[in-house]
Each structure stands twice: as structure tokens, then as C-alpha cells.
Amino acid sequence: MAAPLTLLLLVAVTVRAALFRSSLSELISERVEVVSPLTAWKRVIEGLALLDLGVSPYSGDVFHETPLTIYLFHFLVDYAEVTFMVSVKKNVFRKQKFALEADRYPLDCLELIRSPKEMYYIPLKVAMFYLLNPFTILSCVAKSTCGLNNAIIALFILSTIKGNVLLSAIFLSLATYQSIYPLTLCAPALLYLMQRQYIPVNFRRASFWWFIVQYAFMYLGSLFVIICLSFFLLGSWDYLPSVYGFILSVPDLTPNIGLFWYFFAEMFEHFRLFFLCVFQINVFFYTIPLSIKLKEHPVFLIFMQLAVISIFKSYPTVGDISLYMAFLPVWSHLHRFLRNIFLVSCVLLACSALFPVLWHLWIYAGSANSNFYYAITLLFNVAQILLVSDYFYAFLRREHHLTYGLYLKRKDGSEATLVLK
Amino acid sequence: EANAVIIPQCSHIPPGRRGCLMETTVSPNKEELVIRPLHSGDIYTSFQFRTLWETDFTRENKVSHYRLFPKSLGQVISKFSVRELHISFTQGYWRTMQWGQPYLPSPPGAELWVWFQDSLTDVDGTWKELTNVLSGIFCASLNFIDSTNTVQPSASFKPLGIGNVTDHQIVCTENLTPWKKLLPCGSKAGLAVLLKSEKLFHSSFHSQAVHIRPVCKDDQCKTTSWELRQTLNVVFDLHNSGQGKNEWSLFKMFSRTLTEACPVASSSKIYIDITDNSQGEQFELSPATPLLSQAVVLGDRRTFSVYDLTQQITFGTICNVLKLPVTYSAHAGDMLRPLLHAERYVAGYGLQTGEIHTLMYNNHPYRSFPVLLLDSVPWYLRLYIHTLTVTSKGKDNKPSYIHYQPSKDRVRPHLLEMLVQLPPNSVTEVTLQFERALLKWTEYTPDPNHGFYVGSSVISSLVPSIVAMDTNNSRERPLFSSFFPSKEESSYFVRVYTEPLLVNLPTPDFSMPYNVICLTCTVVAVGYGSLYNLLTRSFQIEEPSPGLAKRIANIIRKMRGVPPL
């Protein structure tokens, strides 16, 4: 296990180092699919330069990172490349450990049970999926701070899986502090930790509420500490509207792979606030229904939440996508129930190839217009939604088979087909 | 009331001082026209009308005695607590390398700089009201001036003021007429008779401005009076408008002749720059005048032929008109190269990023001097200050003072002020990278593919002078040499405006708002729908549905109350 993993790490680091040194790194760090106004490295450098000039980085509208990030990079700016590669490695280790824990004890369908041998290779597959994913490589070479956010989320997942409540709360508050959306990961974390501690998820039980209060206290406490620390670092509350106000109110309409930019570029002013609220609520809205449906399977819930956040957040980048895609090998046993996987993967590949082409045609050649790029973002997001819902379908179907048996018969004895009704 | 008044002020003698403080000649109203033939064959004409107004706003009583000062501007000053106001409307770009330095620099488009009194508290509200009032007075669309294109520089325009430069203002007769109305004589007598719009706007460069500022009446500046200067600078391209012959006259340029001076003007003069014509070899001026005057202006000692319109003998004996025909006989010589000159352009390709390059030329052979560069860039060109590079002669030249105020989206523009030392005989290049923003579809102008204008940058400097400047400000001097008073003899103040920039921004498709809303909501609905399906439904074994006949039969049986088939 250690040998293939080390080999994999070496390959990944070599690829990234090679790209760092080549002329492509400049090109990649300018691409709008890879960096967003929230995560661009150029803006981090700009924020540091403003700090050197004596102007608050938040007085303008260029810099939208949190104060802790500024101070982190203040010290690490010369070693930026190393930092990003380390965060990637950390990410991988966390995932690897997590996958080992995601075991299931099925009832009677031997075919559906995953053999320990299969399970043994899952961490390596997860590591491979994450490290060698071109999206991750691009994100790392562009020095997008998305990599750091992913590392924090991975640490959070690791600490949750390990059962460490305090660390889980701390990492979750850090992740929320960086961008607001990981707040929805509270629910799966709670469910998993309660499952581990054998607390039944029942609204009438006092232990349930007591645990929630404990976790909330730790989470809010660490969040409060981090926010106050940021205040003292820069001496003002300027960063709150600049970071969180920016994420929530989407003033910057720079094109990216998400749905927000063109929608709000073409929005009638009268309805802007309404649709802004609708879109932001859309990200948080699936938490409760998904938690209710998947309360027995919090790990899958984490995957679903991450996917929903990556698709519907205000400034998505390919780094966010690579995070939830890294989880896909964990559900490799669902392959037999996936319906659209071929179509989805073809569409994703085609769209990834078309993004730079249509961007060039719009911005540089001037022969296409923004609609072309917009169409590809629509298609890309539809493909992602199909992918996620396909995995969800496959998961639910496997659960159904685990309960009722794999080969189902109709009343007259012939082979049955399952539908959702 | 327009004549000179000399008042011995013996009552103001401070203890220990002897003699009387003689107040200088106060001419409340002066007008003058300077005509300077340029080396490129163009004619530069500069009108200046000055009105002085003795009043004291520090006393709380209402001011009602305006005399020759226009009432509209007087009310503006008192109502908005204005200390100094400069507004200019310019069409065309001043070509420094071909025409030399102008007497009064102005950027293309409209520019408004205002200094408010210290007692004013609500600067933003007053600024908004002031721009609207001025927009009405000058029939110009200054009401587009708001916080998104207004800056408050810290150093370039002393004392601290609030300013705005907007381009894309077409200056036309609508702006000239209210400007002429502010003159004491209107356009009925004096030099203002020459201001006819059909000729004035048929020119390479046209700039009209109004400057209001307090001036000191004495050296100690114990009392101040308000000075209103109205200036009109025009550069005529006579090869275009002339008949091909190298001659010009007042009638040819303005299609009017002068018949009398303005009765309320204490001084009404025409200055023709004859420095290059000292022996009469280049052109011949008629009627010849014995009056000559020398003045040091823009670092150069120039000789002028003076025609005094208040003297009756200036006008011809036969028809009582002043025509001033001039015939050129020889070729123009070399022009004195302007010491400070600047250019600006946008580099880069595509609609994502770009670079602003500002080139500043120091043409002095051995002296270096510092310049203050003021750049105000709209917020939709996001500047990256860490990409700022200043190079002179290929080497890095670090500015000694940088004041940078980053922009806030849709609130205020970028403001960059730098103090750069220009080495002698060199070109200094300032480059700055920017990113172009995608705006909301309602924020584009009706012609979005024309591009967006970026206002001129302002370069201000005290340029070393070859000729000793006149620092005695109390003497009576021609208006064109006294606008920027010199504090020291060895340098004079120069302000250079660069070209405005035209930058293209990426545009969304303006015909698509409804379509985009529908399509994006469809994608969100696809996500919602699939997740809703999976969350609310459960797996069931599908029973094949019976044929149509059986289904109808079942319905009938259900209605009869009989069990189905």
C-alpha cells in the first residue's frame, strides 16, 4: 500500500513541478475556468502589494480572501508552489484514510457486498483520482487557493471519520470561514458522529439534542475565535463585506464555469435581489431533505453535499469539481446501477475541451459571442447534475436491493423492473 | 466704475512700518486676445476675459451686489461654499509636439475641479447638487458626473479638491452660448464679438473654460477678491479652412471684425506673438503698431505686438474696423521643443486583460525634474498595482511617492498618484496591467462596441525654465502670463494632459435576457427535479399496465361498484 502510494505521489509532484516551471503556468493561472475572483493567485499578490503600500486590501474590490489567508501567504509567498503541493498531498492522505472506514455490513446479498480486497485498493484509487485529475493539476499549477480550501475540507472529513468531535468542529469552522458554503456539511458530520457514538437520531431523545448543542457550541466557538482573530490581524471589520458580502451578493460577473455570471449579467434590475436569494438558498436548501433521506449513510451525504455546493456555488472552479470527483472511486461498487455514466462522461470531456476553445473565440478572435461560452457552461452543469443524481439513484437502488434482494420477481414470477414511484 | 482706482491705504500701516501701502491698480474687468502663429501652420488664438468681484463671504449677510460678476456663478459660489472652481469643455486633443505648450491646458471632454470651503460638511451631497446646477448653467450633461467617476486626489491638484474628468462630451454651440452669456458685455461689444460658433467649431482644437478662484489683493493676502476668468482657446487649421494662401486675418478666422471695445472693460488688448518675426522676415502685420510688449510665458521670453482696443486710433481711419491681415513670406523655423510631453496608450490583445502604458518625455538636455502623475481609471478596468513598473532609459525608476486608492465596484474609480523623477533627455515609461470586467447588460452605453473612455492622466510639474520667470505677482501683467503664478524664478508650472483611452470591454448578448433567465432556471430545475424525484419516491416493482380496453372496462366497473378485472 505504501509503495504504490509513494509512486503515485512522485508522479503527481513531478507533473506539477514540470508544469510550474514551464511557460504554461502563466497561461493556466489566467484561465477563468481554473481561477475565480475568490481564489486567484494574482489577487492574493495584489492584496499583499496593497498591504505593503499601506492601503487596506479590502478597500478595493480586487481582493476577496480572508485575513488569515493573507497572513499565511505573507510568510509563504516565496514558497507558494511548495505550499500548494503540500496541501494536495495532505488532501490525499486524508482521503485515503477515510475510504478505509467507509465499510458496509449488508444483509444477505453476497454479490453486493464489497470484498475486503476491493476495499483495500479504494484509498489508492481515491488518491489517483484526486492527484492525477487534470482539474486538480490545473488548479494546483494556477496556485488557486481552492486547493487550500479543499485541504481544509479533507481534514474536516478525516477528523469526522476518526470520530474526533472537537477537531471536526474546528476544521468545519475553518472551512466555513474560508467560504460560507461548507456550513451545510454540519448535518452529515453530526449524523456520522452520532452514529459512531451510538446516539439514535430521534428528536425526542435528550442525548440527540445534547450532542447537537455540544457540537454547535464547539463549532460556533471556534468560528468566533477565528473571526475575532481576523479582526485583530487587520484591525477592522472591512473583510466581512469584502469576503462574505462578495460571496453572497455576487457583484463580480467575471465568467466562470458556473451558472451565476451570465444569469446576473442579463438580469433585469428589478428582480436581481429575488433571484440572488433564490440561487443562494438553492445551495443550502437540499441539506434537510438529503439528511432525512440519507440519515443512515452520512458519508454519502457528505459526497452529495459537496457535489451540490460545487455545482451551485457562486464562483465555482474546476478545483471544486475535482474535490467531489475524488470520492467517486469509493462508490465504485455502484457501477452496475449507473444509467447515464457514458453519456455524462462524454459530455464532461467534450465540455472541458470546448471551454478554452469558445473562450478564445469570444475574447480573442471576436468571432463568437458570450452565448457560446454560456451554452457550454449550461451543458457542463447539466452533465454534473446528471452525474450526481445518477450516483444517488444507484446508491438508493443498491440500498433497496440490499433490503429486498437482488433478483426480484413480479407477482407472476417474471423478472421485475424497478421504477421510482 | 471700470476705471483704475488708486486708494492710499494709510490706515492699514502695521506698527513699525513706514509709508503707505499703495494698493495696486485694480481693474475689475479685463479682456485680451492672444494670437500665436504655430510652426505647423496653424493659428492659436486664446481669449481671456477676467472679472474681479469684491465681496466677502465670511460675513454671513447675503450677497446681492454682483456688479459685473455673473449672478448665476455668484450664487453657485455662495450656495455651495465653493472656494475654487475650474470647469472646461474641450473638443480635440492638444498636440504638444506640434503646437508647443498651451497657455491653459485642458483635457479632451469636460473637466470639473472644485475646492470647497473647510466649513463644508456634506461634500458628496454638495458635489452632486453642484454638478447638476452647473449642468444647467452650461447646458452640458454634467449630471453624469457621480461618485463612480469622481476622484479626490491628495497631491496633484493643490489645495485638496474634488474633481472629475469625463470624455465623450461633444462640445457644441449649446455650450458656447451660455458661456458667452456670462461675459459682462455678452457678445455685443469688445472681443466677444469675434466669438461666432460656425467658425469657432470648425477648428482643430476648441476649449472653453471658466475658472473661479480667490486672488489676493496685496502681498500679505489679508483680503481676497473673487476672480472669474473665462478662457477660450482655439487652434485654427488654416490650410483646411483657408484658401490655400498663407495669410490670415481676423475676418478670415472669425468672419467678424472688431469695431469697438467693451465699454465696461478697463483693458481690452490683442497680443500678436511676433517673436519669430523680429525682423519681419516671416510675416507682415498690418496695420503695424508701435506698441510692443515682452512677457515671459511658459519659460520663454516672447515679444508681442499689442493692439489696444480702448484707443480709438487702433481702429482704421476709413471703416473703423480692425482687420489685421497677415501675409506669410518665409518658411517657419524651428520650434522650441516643449520640455515636458506625455503620451498614453493601451497595449495587449483580446478582451480579458490589457496594459496601460504612459510615456513621459523630458526634453531638457541636462536637468531632471520630478513630475506628479495622476491617473483616474474607471472601476471596470481592474488595475493590479503589483504590476506597476516605471522604467527610465531601460532601468527601473522607483517613484518616491505613491498614493493608490483602489476602486470599489460601481462606487468609485481607481486613483493613482505618483511622484516620478524624470532623468534629463529621457523617456520614462509607466506600465500597469488591468483586467476588463463584464458589466451588467444595463450598464453598457447604447453603443457598447464603441468602447469605454478612460479619462486623460494629468502630469503636473515645475519645469526648469531657461529664462527667469517673473515672480512679481503684484504688477499688472497680461492675463495669459499670470494664470499660473510663479513662486520662483527658475521654474514654471506646467500641466500636461495625455490622450484619453478607448478600451473595449467584453459584452454579453443584449438580446438575450429572457432567454438566459429561462435557460439557467431550466438547468437549476433539472437539478431540483432529479433530486426531488430521488428524495420523494421509492422503488417499487413495476406492474405492467393493462391495455386500453381493459382500463376503460375497469373504470366502468369501478363506477358500478364491481371489482375490477
Condensed to tens digits (0 to 9), the pLDDT of residues B485-527 reads 666 778 888 889 998 899 999 999 999 999 999 999 999 999 9
Residues of chain A neighbouring B353 (CB-CB closer than 8 A): 30
- End-to-end CA distance of chain B, in Å? 118
- Give residues 343 to 372 of B whose Cβ lies within 8 Å of A: 349-353
pLDDT (tens digit per residue) in A330-385: 888 888 889 889 999 999 999 999 999 999 999 999 999 999 999 999 999 999 99
Q: Which segments of chain B have a pLDDT < 50?
A: 1-26, 60, 159-160, 167, 317-320
Is the Cβ–Cβ distance between B376 and A54 less than 8 Å? no
Between chains, do A266 and B516 touch, taking CB under 8 Å as contact? yes
The whole-angstrom separation of Cα B309 and Cα B291 is 12
Local structure of residue A240 (DSSP, 8 states) = I
Is the Cβ–Cβ distance between B161 and B123 less than 8 Å? no
Least confident of A137-151, A191-205, A390-404, B308-322: B308-322
For A385, which of B402, B440, B526 is closest by C-beta distance? B526
Q: Which of B48, B92, B342 is nearest to B240 (CA)?
A: B92
Is the Cβ–Cβ distance between A372 and A358 less than 8 Å? yes
Residues of chain A neighbouring B405 (CB-CB closer than 8 A): 55, 59-60
- Residue A100 confidence (pLDDT): 46
**3-class state of residue B491 by DSSP:** strand
Is the Cβ–Cβ distance between A371 and B509 less than 8 Å? yes
For B406, which of A59, A370, A374 is closest by C-beta distance? A59
Q: Which of B533, B534, B524, B526 is nearest to A294 (CA)?
A: B534
**Cβ of residue A385 closer than 8 Å to a chain B Cβ:** yes
- As a CATH number, domain B340-469+486-503 is 2.60.40.740
Q: Which of A30, A35, A262 to mutate to test the interface with B (most CBs of B within 10 A)?
A: A262
The whole-angstrom separation of Cα A316 and Cα A146 is 10
pLDDT (tens digit per residue) in A72-131: 777 666 566 666 666 666 666 566 555 544 444 444 445 555 566 666 777 788 888 888
For B523, which of A259, A416, A419 is closest by C-beta distance? A259
Handedness of CA A307, A309, A313, A317 (dihedral sign): negative
Between chains, do B534 and A393 touch, taking CB under 8 Å as contact? yes
Residue of B nearest to A246 (CA): B409
Between chains, do B406 and A50 touch, taking CB under 8 Å as contact? yes
**Regarding predicted confidence, which is higher, B482 or A297?**
A297
**Regarding predicted confidence, which is higher, B216 or A1?**
B216
Mean pLDDT across the stretch A176-182? 92
Residues of chain A neighbouring B352 (CB-CB closer than 8 A): 30, 32, 363-364
Between chains, do A45 and B524 touch, taking CB under 8 Å as contact? no
**For chain A, what percent of residues have pLDDT higher than 70?**
86
**3-class state of residue B247 by DSSP:** strand
Number of CB pairs, chain A paired with chain B, less than 8 A apart? 162
Residue B432 CA neighbour count, 13 Å, CB half: 22
- Residue B317 confidence (pLDDT): 46
Cell numbers that stand for A199 in this block:
446516539
Residue of B nearest to A293 (CA): B535
Give residue A169's pLDDT band: very low, low, confident or very high (50, 70, 90).
very high
Give residue A410's pLDDT band: very low, low, confident or very high (50, 70, 90).
low
B237 φ, ψ (degrees, to nearest 5):
-100, 95
Chain CA centroid to CA B349, Å: 29
Distance from CA of A41 to the nearest CA of B (A): 12
**β partners of residue B224:** B216
The whole-angstrom separation of Cα A367 and Cα A375 is 16
pLDDT (tens digit per residue) in B546-564: 788 888 888 888 888 888 7
Is the Cβ–Cβ distance between B200 and B253 less than 8 Å? no
Local structure of residue A362 (DSSP, 8 states) = I
Handedness of CA B417, B419, B420, B425 (dihedral sign): positive
Between chains, do B350 and A363 touch, taking CB under 8 Å as contact? yes
**3-class state of residue A197 by DSSP:** coil
Between chains, do A61 and B528 touch, taking CB under 8 Å as contact? no
Q: Which of A197, A204, A137, A135 is nearest to A162 (CA)?
A: A197
Q: Domain ranges for chain A, please list them.
A: 1-339
pLDDT (tens digit per residue) in B247-266: 677 777 788 777 777 777 88
CB neighbour class for A231 (10 Å; exposed up to 12, middle 13-18, buried from 19): middle
- Residue B16 confidence (pLDDT): 35
Q: Per-residue pLDDT for A167 more than 60?
A: yes
CB neighbour class for B252 (10 Å; exposed up to 12, middle 13-18, buried from 19): buried
**Cβ of residue A279 closer than 8 Å to a chain B Cβ:** yes
Q: 452529495: which residue's cell?
A: A304
Is the Cβ–Cβ distance between B260 and B23 less than 8 Å? no
- Residue A177 confidence (pLDDT): 94
Give residue A326's pLDDT band: very low, low, confident or very high (50, 70, 90).
confident
**Cβ of residue A403 closer than 8 Å to a chain B Cβ:** no
Cell numbers that stand for A22 in this block:
514551464
Residue of B nearest to A46 (CA): B386
Distance from CA of B528 to the nearest CA of A (A): 9
pLDDT (tens digit per residue) in B311-366: 776 665 444 455 566 665 555 555 667 888 899 999 999 999 999 999 999 988 88
Distance from CA of A11 to the nearest CA of B (A): 34
Largest CA distance in chain B: 132
Distance from CA of B555 to the nearest CA of A (A): 22
Q: Per-residue pLDDT for A44 more than 80?
A: yes
**3-class state of residue A372 by DSSP:** helix
Between chains, do B353 and A30 touch, taking CB under 8 Å as contact? yes
Distance from CA of A356 to the nearest CA of B (A): 13
- Give residues 496 to 515 of B whose Cβ lies within 8 Å of A: 506-509, 512-513
For A266, which of B408, B441, B506 is closest by C-beta distance? B441
Distance from CA of A369 to the nearest CA of B (A): 7
- Residue A23 confidence (pLDDT): 86
- Highest averaged pLDDT of the listed ranges A48-52, A108-112, A274-278: A274-278
**Regarding predicted confidence, which is higher, A289 or B337?**
A289
Residues of chain A neighbouring B436 (CB-CB closer than 8 A): none
- Residue A111 confidence (pLDDT): 55
Between chains, do A60 and B406 touch, taking CB under 8 Å as contact? yes
Between chains, do A252 and B437 touch, taking CB under 8 Å as contact? yes
Average pLDDT over chain A, rounded to whole?
85
Q: Whole-model pTM?
A: 0.85
Q: Domain ranges for chain B, please list them.
A: 29-328, 340-469+486-503
Is the Cβ–Cβ distance between B415 and B383 less than 8 Å? no
Residue of B nearest to A394 (CA): B534
Between chains, do B441 and A293 touch, taking CB under 8 Å as contact? no
**Cβ of residue A60 closer than 8 Å to a chain B Cβ:** yes
ipTM: 0.90
